[in-house]
Chain A
Amino acid sequence: MNVLNSEPGTPSPAPRPMQLKTKYMITVQNLTKSYSGITVLNIAELNINKGESFGLVGNNGAGKTTFFRLILDLIRADTGTIISGEIDVKKSNNWKFYTGSYLDQRFLIDFLTPEEYFDFLAGVFGLSKGDQEKFYENFTDFFNDEVLGKKKYIRDFSQGNKQKIGISAALMSKPEVLVLDEPFNGLDPSTQIRLINILNKLKAENEVTMLISSHDLKHVTEVCGRIAILEKGVIIHDLQTSENTLKELEKYFAV
């Protein structure tokens, strides 16, 4: 299956953190965020290696989305810093050159057709026509003839197809950091498997650092080499994935 090409495309003028002084891609320190007096996130220290696939699991309200929004500088932390590569995300926009993300439908410009949306992003990311062709080619399987050439706006697509559009858009610029919030939600079983394959291939060939949250414990163990359990804003377990991880996770979440 031709999922993502591994050879580098046309050189982009964007600054990329190829040569890192540290081995960490994401460094989190003293991060707290509270809403009306209630602390929703409190991470004293967290380091994610370059090329690591970091899974985040936790029940609703555990703070997963809040954490991802902080990494993407969508909300302001009360205290602490997040360093992406060597960039403090709230001080500079340069992390955007190598970060792809899809959290929810607010990431879609839903009055465009998928083609218009991809065209638009290609313009924003500075991708060439060839890059874009390559992108369509790579995602043919993933789209499964349900996305392109439909002559309708994204807002008229089904939930699952919207999800496909959002995830593929996040991968469009061949990011080195990928942030996905519950990417398996709403996807049909075949597409879920295709997504797992895409993510695993990215991990193996491109050394992409991934941050993925999921409610599906099985999927997250299939993709992520490291899994953290978030409870009420605190990371209470941080595991390297092994054969027993799924069992451990299931035990933890059992009621």
Chain B
Amino acid sequence: MKRSSIWQKNLGLNILLGFFLLIILLELLMVGLFIDKILEEIKPDDDPVFIFNGIILYYLGIEFFLRFFMQSLPTLNIETYLHLPVKKSSIVHFVAGKSVFMAGNYLSWLVAIPFAFKVIATERDTASAWIWLAGFILLVFTNNFFVTYIKRQLVNNSKIVGIFGLILIGLILFDYFGIISLSSLSATIFGRLLKSHTLLIVPIILIILTYSLNYFFLRSKLYPDEVSHRKKEKMDSLSNIRYLKQLGLTGQLFALDLRMIWRHKRTRSIVYMAPLFLGYGFFFYPNPEYKDKLGFLIFVGIFMTGGMMMNYLNYCFSYESNYFDNILVNYRDFEKYIRSKYLFAVTITTVCFILTIPYVLFSPQILLVNTMTFLYNLGVLSFVLFYFATFSKKRMEMTKGATFNYQGLSAIHWLVMLPSFLLPVIIYAPFGFAGAKTAGLLFIGALGLAGLMFHKSLLNFILRQFNKRKYLMAEGFRE
């Protein structure tokens, strides 16, 4: 058997991500190096230290949210170490302190260090610069421990996110209506720190406090059996989907897919993203600039009515990678299997389409565009995605969230994404240039209708492809 290292397989992706990271680092460095010029440019009359201090709390707030969604929770399979002659407190310190090495802790240094020594050191004095920098960095790490603590809490208690969101919304509203001003608060706090250096004790206390929160929380969860008692999964109401059963095997496969999606973190987090896909139109429709850019509206339409379907069909076999052997051994009729997957995709797309109908209030044209792209998604994009799904051959880890989770994606999943959204725009382009806008739209819809008319032969084609590829898929999924 061959073993593959994730670095080799995802080399292209890693190069791309590394490139973006480099650009971001360079940009931050530039901001840092020219921070005095930038601040002077924005508000030439004000004290640059005062302005900069005013945005620190905002920065920490934004950083909190970015970290919350992007930073992964440092974990350790404690059971593996509990039986070793290592002190329990060392294990807990290790897990609690691990997040210190997250890259997010160090990005802001690129701006903060030049600011401290270029601006504060000249406007105030060098000692103040050191104190300010120390305070800032301590707060960044406090933020880090705070985020980790909140995320750890979340594993056990999902209410906290709501509470937290409410507090944040409250703060923003207060700031907006001028009841509490975060910026002046921020400026005052850091201004004080610059005047009386002993106040550095406050961030020190804060970091000790947040670290201890993590430490004692982990300490209390040290024994795996105690944790699992609290984490015992609740049964969902999907345990009784009787009406689907009456639809025969197809209904059963539907029910299985529904449960699969709802009972895995990865797929469930995609469902939670649905409002984002469906709300995409709000970014563009209110803006009159896009009103006549039909090519653009087509893209938006494809994305809104097809985005969720794409998340399903593109990975429909990968999602089942954990029990793919079961499918191969037990399903006697792969035709029904393939057809039920397609029907499921059709259902998703139709629901998405219905939910986008209210956009007609912006203009009737939007409904026309979305109807045509809906047909295109059903008749063309669906089959393209389904066909390429048979090329997946990486087992998918289903228990982790979907944001920034590239595990289990094959190159083909990436390759197929862009063209599938751009193709209809390209098809439309010649019509657009010729001035036959409506004809172009109808043509896209007609393509979709044609695909729907020939769906039987297209599904047969995919079935043949599936029969050819199933061994390779199964082998990849077993790795």
Residues of A within 8 A of B (CB): 14, 35-36, 72-76, 93-94, 96-97, 99, 101, 103-104, 106-113, 116, 119-121, 123-125, 151-153, 156
Contact = CB atoms under 8 A, between A and B. Distances in A.
A93 B333 contact: yes
Contact of A113 (B2, B239, B264, B478): B239
Contact of A96 (B232, B330, B477): B330
B323 A116 contact: no
Interface stretch (B77-85, B255-263, B376-384): B255-263
B271 to A, nearest CB: 15
B215 to A, nearest CB: 29
Nearest to B327: A109
Given A106-B326, A107-B323, A123-B245, A112 B259 contact: yes
Nearest to B337: A124
A107 B259 CA distance: 17
B252 interface: yes
A125 B334 CA distance: 13
B475 A152 contact: no
A110 B323 contact: yes
Given A35-B2, A109-B256, A120-B252, A93 B325 contact: no
B58 interface: no
A75 B332 contact: no
B332 A109 contact: no
B472 to A, nearest CB: 9
Given A74-B328, A96-B332, A111-B259, A106 B239 contact: no
A221 B16 CA distance: 58
Nearest to A76: B471
B211 interface: no
Interface in B245-277: 245, 248-249, 252, 255-256, 259-260, 263-264
Interface string B308-329: 0000000000000011111011
A106 B233 contact: no
Given A36-B2, A93-B333, A151-B235, A75 B252 contact: no
B325 A106 contact: yes
Given A74-B474, A106-B477, 9 more contacts: A72-B328, A74-B329, A76-B471, A106-B324, A107-B323, A108-B326, A112-B256, A119-B245, A153-B263
Main DSSP-derived SS at the B contact region: helix
A130 B248 CA distance: 17
Given A93-B334, A123-B252, A110 B322 contact: yes
B257 to A, nearest CB: 11
A56 to B, nearest CB: 18
Task: Classify chain B's interface size.
Answer: 20 to 34
Contacts of B331: 96, 124
A169 to B, nearest CB: 9
14 contacts: A35-B1, A75-B471, A99-B329, A101-B329, A103-B325, A106-B325, A108-B326, A111-B259, A111-B264, A123-B245, A124-B330, A152-B232, A152-B233, A153-B233
A73 B326 contact: no
A36 B323 CA distance: 25
Contacts of A109: 256, 323, 326
Interface of B: 1-2, 232-233, 235, 239, 245, 248-249, 252, 255-256, 259-260, 263-264, 322-326, 328-334, 471, 474-475, 477-478
Contacts of A151: 235
Interface core residue of B330, B331, B333 (most chain A CB under 10 Å): B330
Contacts of A14: 332
Nearest to A104: B325
Contacts of B255: 120
Given A75-B471, A106-B478, A124 B249 contact: yes
Contacts of B256: 109, 112, 120
A156 B228 CA distance: 10
Contacts of B330: 96, 121, 124-125
A109 B328 CA distance: 13
A156 B326 contact: no
Contacts of B233: 152-153, 156
Q: Which 8 A-B pairs have the closest CB atoms?
A: A111-B263, A106-B325, A123-B252, A96-B332, A76-B471, A109-B323, A107-B326, A72-B329
Nearest to A153: B233
Nearest to B333: A93
A216 to B, nearest CB: 23
A140 to B, nearest CB: 22
